[in-house]
Structure 1
């Protein structure tokens, strides 16, 4: 589970097309749904769908001459798959793996464009930066950096791979911050989002029963701030990548 949990965080940008284009609730200004009452328990793991990576070509795409390989795709697809299954189950929809595979491939192209742009802008992460980031992610998993690397190695990701992925995350993150900017929501946006969440709670009322009580605005504010910021940033990054693709040579093989 550690590897999948960590790879999901690494694949956030790679999944940009999927994460910013699924539903109205994910568009900028829409209220986050994560704070609404939890849905019924998902089916057991035995009944859950499995990631289908059959028929994926050895090179899924080329971006300005740089190849995105089958291994790149499988690592990201399998890493994000459990989260996508949960989202589909929560919304009562069946997961379309064909569409998810296509969106994952597009997301990997987007990521490669951002990596190349960071290089053009001379945005680099130093060894000290990587040590700090490694310590942070290890701490998040309640481990020392040494134990974290040992655990990742047992799951197929050696230290070089871990550091390469951290380097990508840091450099692309800095590029986005520099080129796209900060998207701190206003008080009005936060209050509007909270009102929508209140309506979601009211909608949970059943015959003869009162709706569950929503958390206070003060309690929900940090979560609302984070989610609204991610929504706005995601839309802006998607637009930024669209501009990069206009001048890029991209060949898709799937």
Structure 2
């Protein structure tokens, strides 16, 4: 296994790991990859606790004979650490690194199972698919393709490695779409989610003299729908990976 294939699958791994036991909700703007991930992690290290991977074994897990190495784990864990640390600071809660390490390992196992299942189902992404995906990822990071690849190269990922990761992610996404389905929230569900937002703003107004003004429904409708879609998909993928785990040979060393 190429350890670098995990970087572009960070959002998928994060969602799968948090679905195994963390109550954090899926973020609507989660991206497949961000060239800013390393900077965010470095900033988190400078301002507060640092990721503790001292006791992580060289082989974190084995899934049907495929090893997930410490390098695989560290790349994902450091990215998630920065996000969870930020959430902990906002909520005033203390981060539990042991729990996060276990969740990250479980997420990597689930992702590897999906990668293997996609291969079994003969789901493949073409060069054309990868080129289009590369353009989309670059655009999501507000860069052109050349600048994005240069940023990735600085992080130790050449173009071949980036395209390989995109191929992996595209194939897993297609597997999920085929096996789990596509979830489109109803207008009723979206409006219910908006009511939660309104209630949150009302709660803030009782402690904030300025009384922050809630956004209009039409302004955040798309964002709310995407968040609901991710939550529903995450729950369905969790059930699907649980099925895959029943027939898999998994050794988890954490």
What TM-score results when the alignment is normalised by the length of structure 1?
A: 0.85
CA-CA distance at 1:136 after TM superposition: 1.6
1:10 aligns with 2:9: yes
SS in 2 for 1:15: helix
CA-CA distance at 1:185 after TM superposition: 0.6
CA gap of 1:202–1:33, structure 2 versus 1, over 3 A, is farther
CA-CA distance at 1:121 after TM superposition: 0.8
**Which residue does 1:159 correspond to in 2?**
159
Given that 2:57 and 2:253 are in contact with CA atoms closer than 8 Å, whether structure 1 keeps it comes out as: yes
- Bigger helix share: 2
Given that 1:185 and 1:229 are in contact with CA atoms closer than 8 Å, whether structure 2 keeps it comes out as: yes
Deviations along 1:4-48, one digit per CA (max 9) or x if unpaired, are xx94x631121234433422x739xxxx899xxxxxxxxx85332
CA gap of 1:208–1:157, structure 2 versus 1, over 3 A, is closer
Q: What is the alpha-carbon distance in structure 1 between the residues aligned to residue 28 and residue 115 of structure 2?
A: 31
CA-CA distance at 1:129 after TM superposition: 1.1
Q: What is the alpha-carbon distance in structure 2 between the residues aligned to residue 111 and residue 222 of structure 1?
A: 27
CA-CA distance at 1:66 after TM superposition: 0.7
**Which residue does 1:79 correspond to in 2?**
79
CA gap of 1:22–1:208, structure 2 versus 1, over 3 A, is closer
**Which residue does 2:37 correspond to in 1?**
none
Given that 1:203 and 1:211 are in contact with CA atoms closer than 8 Å, whether structure 2 keeps it comes out as: no
**Which residue does 2:168 correspond to in 1?**
168
Q: What is the alpha-carbon distance in structure 2 between the residues aligned to residue 207 and residue 95 of structure 1?
A: 26
What TM-score results when the alignment is normalised by the length of structure 2?
A: 0.85
Q: What is the alpha-carbon distance in structure 2 between the residues aligned to residue 53 and residue 65 of structure 1?
A: 23
**Which residue does 1:69 correspond to in 2?**
69
Unaligned runs of 5+ in 2: 1-5, 30-42
1:197 aligns with 2:197: yes
Paired residues, number: 234
Deviations along 1:159-214, one digit per CA (max 9) or x if unpaired, are 23212211111010001111111111111111111111111111012368363221
Given that 1:33 and 1:197 are in contact with CA atoms closer than 8 Å, whether structure 2 keeps it comes out as: no
RMSD of aligned Cα (Å)? 2.3
Given that 2:28 and 2:230 are in contact with CA atoms closer than 8 Å, whether structure 1 keeps it comes out as: no
**Which residue does 1:247 correspond to in 2?**
247
1:186 aligns with 2:178: no
- Runs of 4 or more above 6 Å deviation: none
SS in 2 for 1:61: strand
Q: What is the alpha-carbon distance in structure 2 between the residues aligned to residue 132 and residue 220 of structure 1?
A: 27
Unaligned runs of 5+ in 1: 1-5, 35-43
Given that 2:17 and 2:108 are in contact with CA atoms closer than 8 Å, whether structure 1 keeps it comes out as: no
